[in-house]
Chains A and B, each alone.
Chain A
Amino acid sequence: MTATNHPARPRLQRIRKPMTVRRALSWALIILAVAASVLPFYWVIRTSLSTNGSLASNATNLLPADFNLGAFKRVFGLQSAEEAMAEGGSGAHIDFWLYLRNSVLFASITTVGALFFSAMAAYAFARLRWKGRNAVFSLFLATMMVPGIFTALPNFLLIKNLGLLNTLLGLVLPYLFMSPFAIFFLRQFFLNMSREVEEAAMLDGAKHLRIFFQIVLPNAAAPLATLALLTFIGQWNEYFWPLLVANQDDLRVLTVGLGVFKAQAPQGAPDWSGLMAATLVSALPILLLFIAFGKKIVNSIGFSGIK
């Protein structure tokens, strides 16, 4: 570490701090934090590849205890009840393919619907001029403050009254039409977008609908992608609402399925490898999204719009 006292180059001085002990300590703490964030996932993988009976005697072994893919077979319903019970499972039928499919359907449908309709609304709030616009926008924003459970109870009744309990439609309906955050976020983006192309198109006689589809949406592709990613992850992780309205086996999403799987575990000796295999299966799609788009996700975190 050079450049200790160079008043002429204060910038470099700030970047290259001379105190190596302090820097080493800082790095050590950061590595510790990274390890605490990431290593538990390794333990999930390791456990899911182990055999239940060997877990206790190899509790601190870093490698899978008695390597075995049985846990995954069990989770996907590929083991017979006898086989499953022999390996420490509960023997109850469970099929995570089904839950995986339900999660994909639930998260994709709600993400696409909410983003498309929110973009339409954001266009009306950012580009059109109409009486009551700002008041309606504030009301929409206020819904971000409403706790989920306050609307969840009456929404459950509504879905029940409509006869839509344990249907895909009932599951997605409350999320389908808008997301207050998406409207807020997209309106902000539209407001900052140059209007010149739109104005030229308007002079050529293009209607708002064409402008929205051919100019505004394509230009907003990048923020829409980020928003879609965040919305999808949020929906994938949703637990409370699916638990209320879709708790029958053929419609369970992964989070609900996981809860059921855990609850089935025989008391005394839970099916740890099965449970961790199920956890891994539920986490994997998000892990893959994270590997593919991690940078986009990380860079989206910040209070840019608020300060």
Chain B
Amino acid sequence: MTTTAASRAARADTALHAPPGRAGKPFWRRNHGDLRIALFFIAPALLGFVTFYVVPAVRGTYLSFTEYSLLGEPEWVGGANYAAIAKDPLFWNALAVTGEYVLINMVLQTVLALGLALLMHRVAKSTLIRGALLLPYLMANVIAALLWFWLLDYQIGIVNHFIEALGLPRVAFFGSEAWAIPTQALINTWRHVGYTALLLFAGLQAIPRQIYEVADLDGASPFQTLRRITLPLLRPVIALVVIVTAIGSIQIFDTVAVTTQGGPVNASRVLQFYIYQKAFTESDFGYGSALAVILFVILAVVAFVQMKFLRGNESDLD
């Protein structure tokens, strides 16, 4: 089914693009049945693609309709897993908690990164500064998590010493239900904000300088320039950054797994950690697979929104 659709699309494509103005170099044409050598070149990638993407996608979807404890054979149960998920308070909790995490990241990261990018664009373009801001992004999630686990420790963490020095009460960053998710989100923001700022900075660099010169000559204030020129022209990049942040942070797992383990109580039991627990701790592979399918669908919707978003903004700088 997929094959025919694919080959039809391909044939239409070849028909459209076949004569590519290379009439003077006939050998490209003579060779245009490169299928055999092409198969040789893509064989390893194709093997990986089929074995570790296509087949698992099908198998994962199938497993979501079964009950399977990793022993024996999966047993077909129809939509029972999905029905159970709809009534599972822990699933709805995971969804809400993950949503909170994603939201904090999207807002905080974008605002901070935008500010940083504007500052860099204005005064500091050096590679050294950009490098320093990128450093946290190159570290593993696990490293970022443990580093902050220490800095934010309730008893002897340096941050709580500062908080106390300011005359405020200590904060149980990982130990209180109210703070568990914001803390995870802050760690992720710390790790990603430099990277996001560099993406926005690259977008700023692409805005033609003449536009600013004209605005300057017309006596526009910096705030007016920002609101009327920079932000509208940067909008496609901002949109992309927001969506990339959303897609990345929906899949949070590492920091939760090494610090709070879903707790206290269920405060940080995010979706992917819940899936992991269902499939591997409780050996309920069918249920875990159904949860994974749901996560996939959520991501697909986000990706779809992303495409809509970006296409709508494509013409801004042209």
Contacts and interface: CB of A to CB of B under 8 A. Distances in A.
Contacts of A266: none
A272 interface: yes
Query: How many interface residues does chain A have, given as a range?
Result: 35 or more
A258 B37 CA distance: 45
Given A40-B151, A255-B142, A302 B199 contact: yes
15 contacts: A30-B116, A134-B9, A135-B13, A136-B42, A147-B250, A154-B289, A173-B52, A177-B49, A239-B140, A239-B141, A272-B156, A279-B147, A290-B138, A307-B236, A307-B317
Given A7-B217, A150-B293, A303-B240, A30 B124 contact: yes
B133 A33 contact: yes
Nearest to A247: B280
A117 to B, nearest CB: 4
B147 A44 contact: yes
A202 B140 CA distance: 45
B291 to A, nearest CB: 9
Contacts of B148: 40
A120 B143 CA distance: 34
B295 A38 contact: no
A147 B123 contact: no
A85 interface: no
A221 interface: no
B10 interface: yes
B55 interface: yes
Interface string B106-133: 0000000001100110111001011111
A131 B285 CA distance: 39
A128 B34 contact: yes
Given A117-B44, A134-B9, A239-B257, A47 B150 contact: yes
A240 B292 CA distance: 14
Interface stretch (B25-33, B75-83, B87-95): B25-33
Interface of B: 6-7, 9-11, 13-14, 25, 27-28, 31-35, 37-39, 41-42, 44-49, 51-53, 55-57, 59-60, 63, 70, 115-116, 119-120, 122-124, 127, 129-136, 138-143, 146-151, 153, 155-158, 161, 190, 193-195, 198-199, 202-203, 206, 209, 212-213, 216-217, 236-237, 240, 250-251, 253-254, 257-258, 272, 275-276, 279-280, 285, 288-289, 292-293, 295-296, 299-300, 303, 317
Contact of B296 (A23, A147, A238): A147
A183 B46 CA distance: 12
Interface string A136-156: 100110010111111101110
Contact of A153 (B11, B32, B292): B292
A252 to B, nearest CB: 12
B60 A298 contact: no
Contacts of A149: 251, 253, 272, 275-276, 292, 295
Contacts of A129: 28, 31-34
Question: Chain B binding site: helix, strand, loop or mixed by DSSP?
Answer: helix
Given A43-B158, A147-B295, A239-B257, A14 B209 contact: yes
A145 B146 contact: no
Most chain A CB atoms below 10 A, which of B138, B141, B194, B209:
B138
B251 A10 contact: no
A275 to B, nearest CB: 6
Given A10-B217, A30-B120, A177-B44, 19 more contacts: A23-B122, A26-B124, A27-B124, A30-B123, A37-B194, A59-B157, A120-B41, A128-B38, A131-B7, A147-B251, A149-B295, A151-B53, A158-B51, A174-B48, A178-B48, A254-B140, A286-B138, A295-B131, A301-B198
B38 A26 contact: no
